[in-house]
């Protein structure tokens, strides 16, 4: 670090000697005093400072100032980190760049380094020629000024293929020296590098610039045994290394995504690694390319083509229960033919259609259920391929006798025919060469393919157009008909070797392949591709970015298979009709080897460290230190009081919220939370301690009963003070009347009225049913009248026999408490309410009566002690207990009525509904 | 110093009225009624000279015939004498220190000590006048008077120029014997002058209250670093290198001074109170109201 430091003006550093003097000066001068007006000075007179040390500047402040001054001195001396050593050279300069896909890994570093070299050459006034070896310039070397090249630098891009160094060597022989050569190598031993080196050495001195970054490549994946094998290579590193392989493709919605992501490890010292990727077929078929995450070279991208696309074929045969020899199975030969190249699924037809197979093969199936038929038709119309094989069942059935139907390409004659059998005259028939309109055109027909039996098509105007393979006598062997976007194909022979030897021959596999039932397992060689022309769909650039090929010209098939990649044959995806072939930068044969240079050629790294001027950094540091010093000096001399106060306020502001959080909830809030956590019954606190105690015990008894018998599980009852407490939390308020109860205030009445209007229910209990009737002049009755006068109480009626209260939970006719009176009053049903099946309809408050008035002293009947025993006797003996039970049932009905409204009144319609359903 | 830290003659009266409006009329205790010949409208709750009816009592030997109330006596067999209530007026003298040290304020949003002292004095004066008392200023030679006009005169006199010098001392020129007096000052100057004044007052039977008006800065001494402290006129200077280290000594001296004043007040039958300018004026006014009531012989 120090070795890389130089100074523009080293003499200034002498000023550092002055620092000790400054130290002494600063220590000697105490900080200036503040003048303050202060009346209390009279009390200060005569006091003496106890600490004479404080007038000296503290040592750390001195040190701070020293450092600041030293930084300023050093800063002005102009420190420069990594001063550039001058490259001494004269004459024209040739900059060669490999510009291959492997250069893309550190392309920007190369450009930066080349720009530095150009800048240097520009300062030295040298002419420069810059040549990309992947794109050799025609004609003479264009020697230009360095700045002209520097302007062109940003436009340079790496090519997605390797340079042809043989051609370059030939090109270089035409050059005239002397030329100094700077060669930016990609570090890979391309063939011909030595030749080019030799030619260039004759021209002048050579310097090589080579990046240190590892080269990572991925070769085209192969599919074997259900897994995708992805071979990886590296060049450079020997340490263990994790590489992430990403599979790109379209998701079902057509959006490009990472379909899979797997990490593979290069073992220490190994240069190759293999990733075995097992993916479901649906996912695998969608993969368009594999990439190494984080690598931006064309070598780190492997495009996939049909080699990886495996079709999904659904096989169905009627004879699944057949336990005959497997060689007779109609599906055996199909399985054998398809297994290497397609994914076979077997099962129920409707289940398999859900997996959206590419093709469905029905082997000798005559009858399909209507459901299956419609599903199959719609699947074919959406682009499916249905292949049918005939057989004894098909021949015996009436299928396609009068009409072909959607799922048969042609009409069939009854029976079929046998040729060349023991009972027939003719010889087994051979195949006629394929017509040039047939998809099988070009396939070679082996001589041993003989057909002994077949189903015959009805003569038909369309028959010849639909025949794609025929026997030597012209009878169709394979017919095809389009259906929607898909097609239906019928083999007029069986899928096993019973009717013909076709399934035994290689032709069978090729025919299936041509029908696109299966796909080609391996990359085609040149011989296969002769005469075809392939157009590029997408091509890679040097950075491994896939882009649309646009209007690039097509490529001849044999070139595609064998020619090396070049500017006219870019790596990418080429297509011919439905078939696609990918050309990748890396082939399975590619091995990476490091370039070897002769010992006399200097090889430099790509790391170009530009000289760093540290002047600004030092001066900024000095400035910051002086600022700190100013603040500290202010603080020391006590002039920062207002600032520190501000800081304290800020600290307080940030500290305070905790205190606010810690505030406890008010009592009213706690009470509201308590009341709303569960259903809570409430009673009015009358001020009569005994009465309130009975109310609480009564509601507790009722709550216990509800808890035991119903799904209502109330919290312990709460007493409410009408003057202060919020009522809205309670579904039901029990209000016992005592003769000397105070009248609530106007506010309390307003809240009571709001409570009743919003669905609450108040149960008034005068507790005097033993001595007086409703409306009689008992003290409680008179008090009730006074209490209830300001309340918004609707017209009342005595509980009718069919009232909802009689049936919300228990079926009741009486509502006894400790007394047994029928005088219980509720809101009257509307005058126009009809007795619909015995039940008048009410709409107000969802049918909940806002008040219930009675005098049966229910709380006393419900009341339990803390041990759960009844608090008061009710009646006598068993009859009394029965009365208590009925009282509790009434309480249950009451709470149910409040909570469920007129739900139970709707129940009266159930018989009607059931009748309408016709049950 | 901002506009709000000192009074102007216009604002002093109105601000004092505002403060005084919060209290009932001050009814000062008139201890030495006999010594004051002037009648006031203070009921003394005993028979004496005055306008208000007090009671009828049976005539005794020694009552003059003129004092017998014939109308009342005619309704009974024995003669009755009509007595009126003994009524008196009290004089309250105010001394407000207006030297330079009183103009100090430690913060721009706080009133100066002088302004607060003037406000308190005027408020008390207004209350006293409302209660029928006479009020005056100790450093003027005019006798105490009552009425709204006297309040105006007082307000003008209070604003009438500052005393020269850093620290002031009460200079009682007019102090009718047996009257009440209230001294407002920071009492940071020479304590001997206060002692003299109080002893003089005690000799003349004058009782009252000392109100020490202090700025919070004077109580807390929130200074640090190398500082030169100057009195308000700049006459006294004191330099310290580390103000913080003097804090304890300063506070103990301040406490000593307060203690001295308190002792002095107690010995002479006066009352002593410390008022800070960052607190409200009303509590101190209330305290003064109570203090002047409670001084009983």
Tens digit of each residue's pLDDT (9 = 90 or more) over B161-212: 667 777 877 777 777 777 888 898 888 888 888 888 888 888 888 888 899 9
Q: How far is CA B276 from the centre of its chain?
A: 16
CB contact under 8 A, B226 and A30: yes
Minimum CA–CA partner of B225 in chain A: A637
Is residue A656 assigned to a domain? no
The pLDDT > 90 percentage for chain A reads 5
Q: Which of A67-81, A583-597, A685-699, A773-787 has the highest mean pLDDT?
A: A685-699
Same domain, yes or no, for A483 and A399?
yes
Neighbours of A62 (CB within 10 A): 17
Closest CA of chain B from A22, distance in Å: 22
Closest CA of chain B from A662, distance in Å: 30
The pLDDT > 70 percentage for chain A reads 87
Residues of A in contact with B189 (CB under 8 A): 42
CB contact under 8 A, A51 and B242: yes
Q: Where are the domains of chain B?
A: 3-33+90-294, 42-88
Mutate to test the interface with A, among B102, B225, B235 (most CBs of A within 10 A): B225
Average pLDDT, integer, range A345-372: 82
Same domain, yes or no, for A822 and A753?
yes
CB contact under 8 A, A33 and B189: no
Domain B3-33+90-294 belongs in CATH node 3.40.50.880: no
Average pLDDT, integer, range A180-191: 86
Mutate to test the interface with A, among B242, B250, B261 (most CBs of A within 10 A): B242
Residues of B in contact with A645 (CB under 8 A): none
Residues of A in contact with B249 (CB under 8 A): 44, 47
CB contact under 8 A, B167 and A42: yes
In which domain, by residue range, is A199 found? 93-212+595-609
What H or E segment, with its residue span, contains residue A250? strand A241-250
Average pLDDT, integer, range A609-621: 79
Query: Sign of the CA dihedral A899, A902, A908, A911?
Result: negative
Same domain, yes or no, for A207 and A333?
no
CB contact under 8 A, B238 and A32: no
The DSSP secondary structure of B12-42, one letter per residue, reads HHHHHHHHHTTSPPP------TTT--S--SE
Per-residue pLDDT, A519: 59
- The pairing of strands A222-224 and A180-185 is unpaired
Same domain, yes or no, for A781 and A851?
yes
Closest CA of chain A from B234, distance in Å: 8
Tokens of A188: 């890979």
Minimum CA–CA partner of B168 in chain A: A39
CB contact under 8 A, B227 and A639: no
Tell whether the model's pLDDT for residue A717 goes beyond 60: yes
Tell whether the model's pLDDT for residue A295 goes beyond 70: yes
Residues of A in contact with B98 (CB under 8 A): none
Residues 6+ apart with CB under 8 A from A725: A671
Is residue A474 assigned to a domain? yes
Q: Of A41, A54, A55, which has the smallest distance from its Cβ to B238's Cβ?
A: A41
Q: Per CB distance under 8 Å, which residues of B are interface residues toward A?
A: 101-102, 104, 166-167, 186, 188-189, 215, 217-218, 221-232, 234, 236-246, 249-250, 253-254, 257
Minimum CA–CA partner of A640 in chain B: B224
Same domain, yes or no, for A398 and A504?
yes
Question: For residue A229, which of A267, A271, A269, A262 has the smallest C-alpha distance?
Answer: A262
Residues of B in contact with A49 (CB under 8 A): 240-242, 245-246
Minimum CA–CA partner of B223 in chain A: A638
Residues of A in contact with B104 (CB under 8 A): 37-39
Contact A204, A180 (CB under 8 A): yes
Closest CA of chain A from B241, distance in Å: 6
Tell whether the model's pLDDT for residue A450 goes beyond 90: no
Tell whether the model's pLDDT for residue B20 goes beyond 80: no
Same domain, yes or no, for A510 and A578?
no
Q: Of B102, B189, B245, which has the smallest distance from its Cβ to A42's Cβ?
A: B189
From residue B153, how far is each of B7, B121, B146 by CA, in Å? 15, 13, 11
Minimum CA–CA partner of A31 in chain B: B226
Mutate to test the interface with A, among B104, B226, B230, B259 (most CBs of A within 10 A): B226
Residues 6+ apart with CB under 8 A from A491: A387, A388, A389, A390, A477, A478
Tokens of A447: 């001589």
Note the pLDDT tens digit of each residue in A261-284.
889 888 888 888 888 888 877 778
Question: For residue B113, which of B126, B121, B101 has the smallest C-alpha distance?
Answer: B101
Average pLDDT, integer, range A364-385: 84
Residue at token pair 């076979």? A344
Asked if A43 has any chain B CB less than 8 Å from its own CB, the reply is: yes
Minimum CA–CA partner of A32 in chain B: B226
Q: What is the mean pLDDT of chain A?
A: 81
Same domain, yes or no, for A363 and A290?
no
Whole-model pTM over 0.80:
no
Q: How confident is the model at residue B24 (pLDDT cuts 50, 70, 90)?
A: very low
Closest CA of chain B from A630, distance in Å: 15
Residues of B in contact with A35 (CB under 8 A): 227-228, 230
Q: State how far the Cα of A216 lies from the Cα of A271, in Å rounded to an integer.
A: 9
Closest CA of chain B from A637, distance in Å: 4
Note the pLDDT tens digit of each residue in B258-289.
999 999 988 888 889 999 988 887 788 778 87
Asked if A55 has any chain B CB less than 8 Å from its own CB, the reply is: yes
Q: What value of ipTM does the predicted structure carry?
A: 0.72
Contact A455, A478 (CB under 8 A): no
Q: What is the mean pLDDT of chain B?
A: 77
Residue at token pair 């039932």? A517
Last residue of a domain, one of A514, A544, A575: A514
Same domain, yes or no, for A134 and A253?
no
Q: Which residues make beta-bridge pairs with A223?
A: A228
Per-residue pLDDT, A734: 93
Of residues A9 and B74, more confidence is placed in: B74
CB contact under 8 A, B229 and A36: yes
CB contact under 8 A, B254 and A44: no
Average pLDDT, integer, range A386-393: 86
Contact A844, A827 (CB under 8 A): yes
Question: For residue A216, which of A236, A196, A201, A187 has the smallest C-alpha distance?
Answer: A236
Q: Among the listed ranges A298-302, A655-659, A669-673, which one has the minimum average pLDDT value?
A: A655-659
Q: Of A35, A40, A52, which has the smallest distance from its Cβ to B218's Cβ?
A: A40
Q: State how far the Cα of A27 lies from the Cα of B25, in Å rounded to an integer.
A: 66
Same domain, yes or no, for A601 and A618?
no
What H or E segment, with its residue span, contains residue A183? strand A180-185
Per-residue pLDDT, A525: 65
Is residue A224 assigned to a domain? yes
Minimum CA–CA partner of A36 in chain B: B229
Q: State how far the Cα of A67 lies from the Cα of A329, in Å rounded to an integer.
A: 94
Closest CA of chain B from A55, distance in Å: 6
Strand order in the sheet with A342-346: A342-346, A311-317, A359-363, A385-389, A486-491, A476-483, A467-470
Minimum CA–CA partner of B226 in chain A: A33
Contact A121, A128 (CB under 8 A): yes
Distinct helix (H) and strand (E) counts, chain B: 8, 10
Is residue A548 assigned to a domain? yes
Is residue A38 assigned to a domain? no
Backbone angles phi, psi at A496, to 5 degrees: -110, -175
Q: Of B224, B238, B242, which has the smallest distance from its Cβ to A45's Cβ?
A: B238
Note the pLDDT tens digit of each residue in A546-570.
888 888 888 888 888 888 888 888 8
Note the pLDDT tens digit of each residue in A797-855.
888 877 778 888 888 888 888 888 888 888 877 665 555 555 555 544 556 788 888 88
Is residue A700 assigned to a domain? yes
State the total domains in chain A: 5
Minimum CA–CA partner of B257 in chain A: A43
Backbone angles phi, psi at B134, to 5 degrees: -105, 145
Closest CA of chain B from A629, distance in Å: 16
Q: Which of A113-117, A620-624, A743-747 has the highest mean pLDDT?
A: A620-624
Average pLDDT, integer, range A374-381: 89
Same domain, yes or no, for A438 and A358?
yes
Asked if A644 has any chain B CB less than 8 Å from its own CB, the reply is: no
Average pLDDT, integer, range A700-720: 90
Note the pLDDT tens digit of each residue in A139-174.
777 788 888 888 888 888 888 888 888 888 888 888
Residues of B in contact with A58 (CB under 8 A): none
Is residue A40 assigned to a domain? no
From residue A529, how far is each of A509, A518, A525 by CA, in Å? 19, 19, 7
Same domain, yes or no, for A774 and A785?
yes
Same domain, yes or no, for A328 and A247?
no
CB contact under 8 A, A51 and B228: no
Q: How confident is the model at residue B26 (pLDDT cuts 50, 70, 90)?
A: very low
Tell whether the model's pLDDT for residue B152 goes beyond 60: yes
Per-residue pLDDT, B44: 53
Contact B132, B166 (CB under 8 A): no
Number of A:B CB contacts under 8 A?
114
């Amino acid at each position: 670090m120090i070795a890389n430091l130089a100074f523009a003006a080293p003499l200034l550093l002498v000023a550092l000697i002055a620092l000790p003097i400054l130290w002494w000066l600063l220590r000697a001068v105490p900080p200036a005093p503040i003048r303050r007006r202060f009346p209390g000075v009279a009390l200060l007179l005569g006091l003496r400072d106890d600490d004479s040390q404080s007038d000296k500047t503290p040592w750390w402040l001195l040190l701070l100032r020293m450092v600041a001054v030293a930084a300023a001195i050093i800063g002005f001396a102009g420190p420069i980190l990594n001063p550039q050593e001058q490259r001494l050279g004269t004459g024209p300069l040739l900059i060669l760049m490999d510009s291959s896909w492997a250069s893309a890994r550190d392309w920007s570093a190369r450009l930066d380094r080349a720009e530095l070299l150009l800048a240097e050459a520009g300062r030295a006034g040298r002419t420069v020629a810059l040549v990309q070896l992947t794109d050799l310039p025609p004609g003479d070397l264009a020697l230009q000024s360095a700045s002209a090249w520097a302007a062109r630098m940003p436009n340079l891009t790496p090519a997605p293929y390797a340079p042809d160094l043989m051609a370059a060597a030939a090109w270089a022989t035409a050059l005239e020296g002397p030329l100094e050569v700077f060669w930016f190598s990609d570090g890979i031993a391309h063939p011909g590098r030595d030749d080019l080196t030799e030619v260039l050495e004759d021209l002048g001195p050579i310097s090589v610039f080579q990046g240190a970054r590892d080269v990572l490549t991925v070769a085209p994946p192969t599919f074997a045994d259900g897994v995708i094998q992805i071979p990886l290579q590296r060049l450079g590193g020997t340490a263990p290394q994790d590489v992430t392989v990403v599979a790109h493709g379209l998701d079902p919605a057509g959006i490009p995504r990472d379909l899979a992501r797997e990490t593979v490890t290069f073992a220490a010292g190994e240069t190759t690694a293999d990733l075995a990727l097992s993916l479901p077929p649906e996912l695998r078929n969608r993969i368009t390319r594999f990439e190494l995450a984080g690598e931006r070279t064309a070598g780190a991208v492997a495009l996939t083509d049909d080699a990886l696309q495996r079709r999904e074929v659904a096989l169905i045969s009627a004879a699944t229960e057949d336990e005959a020899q497997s060689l007779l199975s109609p599906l055996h030969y199909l399985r054998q033919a398809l297994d290497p190249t397609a994914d076979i699924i077997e099962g129920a037809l409707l289940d398999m259609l859900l997996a959206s197979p590419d093709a469905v093969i029905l082997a000798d199936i005559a009858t399909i259920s209507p459901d299956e038929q419609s599903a199959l038709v719609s699947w074919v119309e959406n682009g499916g391929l249905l292949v049918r094989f005939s057989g004894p069942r098909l021949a015996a059935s009436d299928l396609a006798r009068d009409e072909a139907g959607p799922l048969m390409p042609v009409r069939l004659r009854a029976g079929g025919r046998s040729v060349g059998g023991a009972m027939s005259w003719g010889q087994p028939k051979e195949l006629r060469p394929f017509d040039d309109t047939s998809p099988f055109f070009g396939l070679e027909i082996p001589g041993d393919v003989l057909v002994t039996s077949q189903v015959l098509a009805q003569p038909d105007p369309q028959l010849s157009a639909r025949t794609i393979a025929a026997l030597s006598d012209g009878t169709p062997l394979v017919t095809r008909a389009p259906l929607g976007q898909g097609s239906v194909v019928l083999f007029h022979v069986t899928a096993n070797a019973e009717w013909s030897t076709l399934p035994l021959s290689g032709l069978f596999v090729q025919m299936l392949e041509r029908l696109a039932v299966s796909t080609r397992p391996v990359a085609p060689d040149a011989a296969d591709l002769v005469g075809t022309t392939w157009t590029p769909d997408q091509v890679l650039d040097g950075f491994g970015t896939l882009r649309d090929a646009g209007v690039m010209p097509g490529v001849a098939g044999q070139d595609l298979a064998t020619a090396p990649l070049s500017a006219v044959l870019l790596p990418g995806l080429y297509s011919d009709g439905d078939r696609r072939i990918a050309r990748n930068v890396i082939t399975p044969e590619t091995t990476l080897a490091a370039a070897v240079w002769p010992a006399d050629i200097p090889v430099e790294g790509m790391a170009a460290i530009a000289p760093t001027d540290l002047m600004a950094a030092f001066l900024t540091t000095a400035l910051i230190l002086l600022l700190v010093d100013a603040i500290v000096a202010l603080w020391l001399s006590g002039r920062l009081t207002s600032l520190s106060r501000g800081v304290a306020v800020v600290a307080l502001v940030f500290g305070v919220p905790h205190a606010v959080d810690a505030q406890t909830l008010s009592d009213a809030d706690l009470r509201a939370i308590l009341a709303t956590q569960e259903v809570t019954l409430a009673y009015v606190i009358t001020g009569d301690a005994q009465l309130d105690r009975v109310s609480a015990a009564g509601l507790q008894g009722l709550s216990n009963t509800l808890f035991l018998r119903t799904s209502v599980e109330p919290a312990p009852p709460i007493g409410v003070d009408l003057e202060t407490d919020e009522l809205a939390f309670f579904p039901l308020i029990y209000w016992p009347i005592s003769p000397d109860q105070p009248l609530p205030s106007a506010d309390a009445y307003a809240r009571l009225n709001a409570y009743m209007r919003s669905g609450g229910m108040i149960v008034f209990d005068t507790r005097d049913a033993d001595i007086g009737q409703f409306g009689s002049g008992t003290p409680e009755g008179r008090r009730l009248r006074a209490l209830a006068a300001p309340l918004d109480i609707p017209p009342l009626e005595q509980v009718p026999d069919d009232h909802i209260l009689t049936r919300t939970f228990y079926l009741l006719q009486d509502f006894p408490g400790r007394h047994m009176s029928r005088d219980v009053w509720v809101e009257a049903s509307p005058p126009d309410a009809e007795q619909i099946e015995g039940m008048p309809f009410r709409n107000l408050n969802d049918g909940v009566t806002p008040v219930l008035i009675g005098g049966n002293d229910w709380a006393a009947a419900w009341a339990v002690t803390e041990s759960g025993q009844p608090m008061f006797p009710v009646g006598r003996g068993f009859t009394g207990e029965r009365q208590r039970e009925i009282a509790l049932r009434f309480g249950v009905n009451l709470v149910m009525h409040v909570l469920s409204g007129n739900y139970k009144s709707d129940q009266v319609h159930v018989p009607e509904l059931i009748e309408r359903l016709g049950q | 110093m901002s506009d709000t830290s000192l009074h102007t003659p216009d604002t002093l009266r109105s601000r004092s009225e505002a403060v005084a409006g919060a209290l009932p009329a001050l009814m000062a205790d008139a201890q030495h009624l006999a010594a004051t010949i002037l009648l006031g409208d203070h009921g003394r709750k005993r028979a004496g000279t005055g306008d208000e009816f007090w009671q009828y009592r049976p005539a005794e030997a020694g009552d003059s015939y003129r004092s017998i109330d014939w109308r009342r006596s005619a309704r009974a067999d024995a003669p009755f004498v009509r007595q009126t209530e003994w009524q008196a007026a009290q004089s309250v003298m105010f001394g407000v220190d207006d030297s330079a040290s009183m103009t100090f304020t430690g913060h721009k949003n706080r009133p100066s000590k002088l302004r607060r002292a003037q406000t308190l004095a005027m408020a008390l004066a207004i209350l006293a006048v409302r209660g029928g008392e006479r009020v005056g200023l100790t450093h003027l030679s005019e006798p105490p008077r009552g009425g709204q006009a006297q309040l105006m005169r007082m307000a003008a006199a209070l604003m009438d120029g500052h005393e020269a010098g850093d620290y002031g001392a009460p200079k009682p020129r007019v102090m009718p014997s047996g009257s009440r007096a209230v001294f407002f000052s920071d009492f940071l100057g020479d304590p001997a002058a206060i002692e003299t004044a109080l002893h003089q007052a005690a000799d003349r039977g004058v009782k009252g209250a000392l109100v020490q008006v202090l700025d919070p800065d004077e109580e807390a001494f929130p200074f640090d670093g190398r500082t030169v402290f100057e009195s308000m006129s700049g006459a006294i200077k004191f330099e310290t290198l580390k103000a913080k280290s003097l804090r304890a000594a300063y506070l103990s001296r301040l406490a000593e001074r307060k203690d001295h004043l308190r002792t002095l007040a107690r010995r002479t039958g006066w009352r002593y109170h410390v008022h800070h300018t960052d607190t409200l004026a009303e509590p101190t006014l209330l305290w003064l109201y109570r203090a002047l009531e409670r001084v009983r012989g």
